[in-house]
Amino acid sequence: MEMNAAKVLIDGPSELVFDYAIPESLGEVAVGCRVRIPLRNRNSTGTVLEVGPAPQTNFTLRPLHSLIDPEPLITPNLMKLGKWLSEYYGTPMEQVMRALLPESVRQDAHSEKTRKVVVLESMPDEEALEKLKKRAPKQHVILTLVKAAAGQISLADLGGGSVTASVKSLEKKGFVSLKSEAVRRDPDQDQEFMETSPLKLNAEQEVALTEILKEPKEGETKKPILLHGVTGSGKTEVYLQAVQHHVDQGKSALILVPEISLTPQTVQRFKSRFAALQDQVAVLHSHLSQGERFDEWHRIRKGEAKIVIGARSAIFAPLKNLGIIVVDEEHENTYKQETSPRYHGRDIAVLRAHLESCCIVLGSATPSLETYQNTLKGKYTLLNMTQRVDNQTMPIIRVMDMKIEAQKQKGRLAILSDKLRVSMEAKLKEGEQVILFLNRRGFARALQCPPCGHVCECQHCAIPLTYHRGDERLICHMCGYQTITPNKCPACGDKAIKLQGYGTEKVEEVIRKVFPQSRIARIDTDTMRRKNALRDTLAKFKAKKIDIIIGTQMIAKGLHFPNVTLVGILNADLGLHVPDFRAGERTFQLITQVAGRAGRGELEGEVVIQTFTPHSPSIQFARHHDYVGYAEQELQFRGQFGYPPFTHVAMLGTRSTHERRAEFTLQNLHKRLKANLPAQIEMGEPMPSPLTKAHGQYRYQLMLKSNSARGLSQYVARVLKQTPPPEDVIVVFDMDAMSFF
- Applying CB under 6 A, the residues found at the interface with ligand ADP are 199-202, 205, 229, 231-237, 389, 560
Rounded Cα distance, 114 and 127, in Å: 36
**Least separation, in Å, of the C-beta of 500 and ligand ADP?**
34
Using CB under 5 A as the binding rule, whether residue 687 contacts Zn ion is answered as: no
d(CA 661, CA 673): 18
- When the beta carbons of 31 and 478 are compared against Zn ion, the nearer one is 478
CA-nearest of 69, 56, 14, 57 to 39 is 14
Q: Binding Zn ion by CB under 5 A: which of 481, 502, 637, 646?
A: 481
Distance CA 156, CA 115 (A): 8
CA distance 466 to 481: 10
**Amino acid identity at 510:** V
Query: Which does residue 237 touch among ligand ADP, Zn ion, none (CB within 5 to 8 A, set by kind)?
Result: ligand ADP
- Closest CB to Zn ion among residues 610, 701: 701
Which residue number, 62 or 460, has a Cβ lying nearer to Zn ion? 460
In the complex, least distance from residue 459 CB atom to Zn ion, rounded to whole angstroms:
7
In this structure, what DSSP letter does residue 336 have? B
**If contact means CB under 5 to 8 A according to the sort of partner, which of Zn ion, ligand ADP, none does residue 232 touch?**
ligand ADP
Q: What is the DSSP code (8-state) at residue 161?
A: G
* Consecutive H or E run containing 294: helix 290-301
Backbone angles phi, psi at 525, to 5 degrees: -65, -25
Least distance from ligand ADP to the Cβ atom of residue 600, Å: 7
Q: Among residues 692, 705, 591, 688, which one has the least CA distance to residue 650?
A: 705
Q: Can you list the positions of beta strands (E) in 425-472?
A: 433-437, 466-468
Question: Looking at beta carbons only, is 457 or 626 nearer to Zn ion?
Answer: 457
**Separation of alpha carbons 158 and 160, rounded Å:** 6
CA-derived radius of gyration, the chain: 30
| Of 384 and 485, CB closest to ligand ADP | 384
Q: In this complex, which beta carbon is closest to ligand ADP, that of residue 558 or of residue 614?
A: 558
Bridge-based pairing state of the strands 66-69 and 34-39: antiparallel
Residue 199 near which of Zn ion, ligand ADP, none (CB within 5-8 Å, type-dependent): ligand ADP
Q: CA-CA distances (angstroms) from residue 302 to 72, 114, 298, 313, 326?
A: 13, 17, 6, 19, 22
The residues with which 483 forms a beta bridge, in sequence order, are 474
Closest to Zn ion by CB, 291 vs 480, is 480
Nearest distance in Å: CB 202, ligand ADP:
5
| 571 interface partner picked from ligand ADP, Zn ion, none, CB below 5 to 8 A per type | none
- Cβ proximity to ligand ADP, 224 vs 232, nearer residue: 232
With CB cut-offs between 5 and 8 Å by kind, which of Zn ion, ligand ADP, none does residue 479 bind?
Zn ion
CA distance 89 to 96: 10
- CB closer to ligand ADP, 71 vs 206: 206
How far is C-alpha 62 from the geometric centre of its chain's CA atoms? 41
Please identify which residue in 209, 478, 666, 704 interacts with Zn ion, judged by CB under 5 A.
Answer: 478
> Which of 90, 232 has the CB closer to ligand ADP?
232
Rounded to the nearest whole angstrom, what is the least distance from the CB of residue 61 to ligand ADP in the complex?
Answer: 55
At its nearest, how many Å lie between Zn ion and the CB of residue 684? 8
Using the minimum distance from each CB to ligand ADP, give the nearer residue, 272 or 482.
272
With CB under 5 to 8 Å by kind, the binding choice for 436 among ligand ADP, Zn ion, none is none
Q: Nearest distance from residue 642's CB to Zn ion, in Å?
A: 12
Cα dihedral sign, 427-429-433-434: positive
Binding at 405: pick from Zn ion, ligand ADP, none (beta carbon under 5-8 Å per type):
none
Min CB(390)–ligand ADP separation in Å: 6
Q: Does 702 bind Zn ion (CB under 5 A)?
A: no
Q: Measured from the CB atom, is 581 or 630 closer to Zn ion? A: 581
* Count of residues interacting with Zn ion (CB under 5 A): 7
Which of ligand ADP, Zn ion, none does residue 614 bind (CB under 5 to 8 Å by kind)?
none
Q: What does 461 bind: Zn ion, ligand ADP, none (CB cut-off 5 to 8 Å by kind)?
A: Zn ion
Q: 204 or 573: whose CB is closer to ligand ADP? A: 204
If binding is defined by CB under 5 A, does position 476 make contact with Zn ion?
A: yes
Q: How far is the CB of 482 from Zn ion (least distance, A)?
A: 9
**Interacting residues of 207 by C-beta distance below 8 A, sequence separation 6+:** 383
User: Which partner from the list ligand ADP, Zn ion, none does 234 bind, CB cut-off 5 to 8 Å by kind?
Assistant: ligand ADP
Binding at 446: pick from Zn ion, ligand ADP, none (beta carbon under 5-8 Å per type): none
84 binds, among Zn ion, ligand ADP, none (CB under 5 to 8 A by kind): none
Q: Minimal distance in Å, beta carbon 231 to ligand ADP?
A: 5
Smallest distance from the beta carbon of 462 to Zn ion, in angstroms?
Answer: 8
Partner that binds at residue 460, options Zn ion, ligand ADP, none, CB closer than 5 to 8 Å by kind:
Zn ion
In the window 347-366, what residues touch Zn ion (CB under 5 A)? none
Closest CB to Zn ion among residues 193, 481: 481
Give the alpha-carbon dihedral of 194, 385, 622, 579, to 10 degrees.
Answer: 80
Tell me the C-alpha distance between 589 and 583, whole Å.
Answer: 10
Residue 3 to residues 36, 63, 71, 105, 448, Cα–Cα distance (Å): 19, 11, 22, 29, 66
Instruction: Report the residue number, 227 or 550, with the smaller CB distance to ligand ADP.
Output: 227
In angstroms, how far is the first alpha carbon of the chain from the final one?
52
Nearest approach, Cβ of residue 121 and ligand ADP (Å): 51
Classify the C-alpha dihedral 347-353-354-360 as positive or negative.
negative
d(CA 586, CA 269): 27
458's contact among Zn ion, ligand ADP, none, with CB below 5 to 8 A by partner kind, is Zn ion
For the segment 445-474, give every residue that binds Zn ion (CB under 5 A).
458, 460-461
H or E segment and range at residue 686? none
Alpha-carbon torsion angle 63, 67, 71, 75, nearest 10: -50
- 188, burial (CB in 10 Å: exposed 0-12, middle 13-18, buried 19+): middle
Binding partner of residue 476 among ligand ADP, Zn ion, none, CB cut-off 5 to 8 Å per kind: Zn ion
Q: Which is nearer to ligand ADP, 232 or 599 (CB)?
A: 232
Instruction: Identify what 702 binds: Zn ion, ligand ADP, none; CB under 5 to 8 Å per kind.
Output: none
CB of 709 to Zn ion, least distance (A): 22
Q: 463: Cβ–Cβ under 8 A, 6 or more apart, which residues?
A: 457, 476, 477, 478, 579, 580, 581, 583
Containing H/E element for 501? Answer: none
Output 597 or 661, the one with its CB closest to ligand ADP.
597
Q: CB of 689 within 8 A of CB of 669?
A: no
Nearest to 576 by CA among 604, 616, 630, 633: 616
Residue 2 exposed, middle or buried by CB count within 10 Å (0-12, 13-18, 19+) = exposed
Q: How far is the CB of 329 from ligand ADP (least distance, A)?
A: 9
Nearest distance in Å: CB 633, ligand ADP = 25
**Minimal distance, residue 378 CB to ligand ADP, in Å:** 25
Binding Zn ion (rule: CB under 5 A), the pick from 64, 240, 438, 479 is 479
Least distance CB 653 / ligand ADP (angstroms): 36
Residue 235 interacting entry, from ligand ADP, Zn ion, none, C-beta within 5 to 8 Å by type: ligand ADP
CA 28 vs. chain centroid, Å, equals 37
Distance of alpha carbon 541 from alpha carbon 579, whole angstroms: 35
DSSP string, 228-245: EE-TTS-HHHHHHHHHHH
Question: Residues 589, 738: contact at Cβ < 8 Å?
Answer: no
The residues binding Zn ion (CB under 5 A) are 458, 460-461, 476, 478-479, 481
